[in-house]
Structure 1
């Protein structure tokens, strides 16, 4: 017989944990501070809603090291299994609206000639993956990214990809109808087997803390500001994420359905949630325009700002005691790391 498990926080970590626990036949109740399954950008919401959904275990070695690489590779396999499960249990027959929008067609890494020195430093860190980091000739680059400015240095990162965060978040929730959702109920604190709510405490066999920066009073986590810009670019042909290597920025452009693109993302040591700054807007758009000149006529649909939960070493934080599991600190790697981190944590706790 399954256990009664309460999950605090319906961000990516909470939804993935709920899916895994429900599939293991536990009785899961999800507590979420916001008022809906898909909260508006104008209200505080999980970092996953703002992210681009890149799955880049090779490229992220530059900042995350081998730990991020190893977990990321495992997550790539898990995302394929999760995507297949969600598609099989979809309530729609449309392939565009099922699954997580998973695209594993590799990614591209580019730099301007003047920045080749900085790019080579990054490439040296990836030297162990030389078979999966392929330097492209000009004609190969043009075939993979037709609008890319000529004269750029370009590398293809084999096996990387991206997904569509909004679709994934929606379907991760709707694929498990047996999970009980309690919206507008922020969790104020957790102890083994107990959740403290505004109206009092509730008991469970296990409780899981997946509140991100909302758990800062109990977990060594801080918020790191990230800003993105979403463009409408009808007719713009891009099927894989493109990452620009620059001495000061790490800018990426990720395609989304319906001719949209996401440009991101800043990384600012601040817990300010105010709208995107002029400086960040200029830097992100200038970087994107410098490699894709045809974006000059694209339209800005919206911008978004959120806080990534980060630990002192910027690596995931897992803490387990009987009846209480805390999962946090996915930082800028949530989509890349969360499936593997959750799989191991639930297994170690004998919950899955």
Structure 2
């Protein structure tokens, strides 16, 4: 079916995060008449949504499902194609562990065909104190530039953007004149309180990070197995900033910044990569901001499905399709384009 066949079909996307914006973009490219409605939009710095605070690199998480792998494959290829724009960069990456003595999974990682330089590091190349290590070339981006870029693409395609908190699916279906063909629910943690959804499986995974300035860094790094049981990641970005993390506090809604956690992140990051301050100590790392974000996770995994609901608001009762696309947790950027394509197909 040609895109012109969809031009009269109205779609409302709820949610202005990376999944919502990317879904709106894919639908607009396919010819739908798209309206994006969200409380938070690219450029906002509210802790009420996750997208500004994400690590925003591409690195598949162990144990993720084949469905997530499919989304991540599509997203990797799309993000890689954006490198010439300057909003995405290639990033050499090294992972070390102080405790794990087996990383044989690397030889069979599902993404090895996408990233052929993924390899186990020989023991002779490991710094003192590390038991295992691996390396690959991945991708990173900066939400501060990437999200506004998405918004620009939406504006260029004529997507209507409304800043408003949506209370229910029925309300979303009545935002535009005429019958809405479909509502896309990309509300993240908001799905827990969205009328018509009220998903009790939604849960936050709190992440505290430090954004620092270090444009001279040439690679990213993750290390697990510190004495206090924590881990650290260091992700350089195309804008010269670097995100240092972090925490994975499952179920925590706490958005306050814990100073002791900030200090721990800085110390562990400097121990792992002294180049952060050019060897001048962890106190000399140039801090841009300390941040907390709530990753929009869901028990049982992300929800991606089509359902048909009945709505009455704004006219006689009618049926409206609803595509649910939320609950991806910490993998939003690296899954976004795949999820958006899936939304379009549904």
Relative to structure 1, the CA distance from residue 282 to residue 157 in structure 2 (aligned partners, 3 Å threshold; closer, same or farther) is same
Distance 1:337 1:174 in 2: 20
Q: Any stretches of 5+ residues in structure 1 without a counterpart?
A: 88-94, 142-148
Please state whether the residue corresponding to 1:344 is helix, strand or coil. helix
1:215 pairs, out of 178, 191, 204, with 191
1:206 pairs, out of 160, 182, 192, with 182
More helix by share: 1
1:188 pairs, out of 160, 164, 167, with 167
Displacement of 1:24 in angstroms is 0.7
The residue number in structure 1 matching 2:59 is: 56
The residue number in structure 1 matching 2:144 is: 166
Kept in 1, the 8 Å contact 2:121–2:135? The answer is no
1:246 pairs, out of 219, 225, 229, with 225
Displacement of 1:153 in angstroms is 6.3
Kept in 2, the 8 Å contact 1:135–1:156? The answer is yes
Equivalent residue runs for 1:93-108 within 5 Å = 95-96=85-86, 101-108=87-94
Cα deviation per residue 1:109-161 (whole Å; 9 max; x = unaligned)? 123xxx2x42x34x1333414864424479988xxxxxxx7775674433422
Displacement of 1:262 in angstroms is 0.7
Please state whether the residue corresponding to 1:252 is helix, strand or coil. strand
Relative to structure 1, the CA distance from residue 202 to residue 49 in structure 2 (aligned partners, 3 Å threshold; closer, same or farther) is farther
Equivalent residue runs for 1:1-352 within 5 Å = 1=5, 2=7, 3-34=9-40, 37-40=42-45, 43-57=46-60, 60-61=61-62, 63-64=63-64, 67-81=67-81, 83=82, 95-96=85-86, 101-111=87-97, 115=98, 117-118=99-100, 120-121=101-102, 123-129=103-109, 132-136=117-121, 155-177=133-155, 178-183=158-163, 185-191=164-170, 195=172, 203-217=179-193, 218=197, 219=199, 220-233=201-214, 237-246=216-225, 248-257=229-238, 259-294=240-275, 295=277, 296=281, 297-313=284-300, 315-322=301-308, 323-347=321-345, 349=346
Cα deviation per residue 1:61-104 (whole Å; 9 max; x = unaligned)? 2x4355544432332113234x27xx7xxxxxxx54xxxx2223
Kept in 2, the 8 Å contact 1:22–1:179? The answer is yes
Kept in 1, the 8 Å contact 2:234–2:244? The answer is yes
Q: Any stretches of 5+ residues in structure 2 without a counterpart?
A: 309-320
Please state whether the residue corresponding to 2:247 is helix, strand or coil. coil
Q: How many residues align?
A: 308
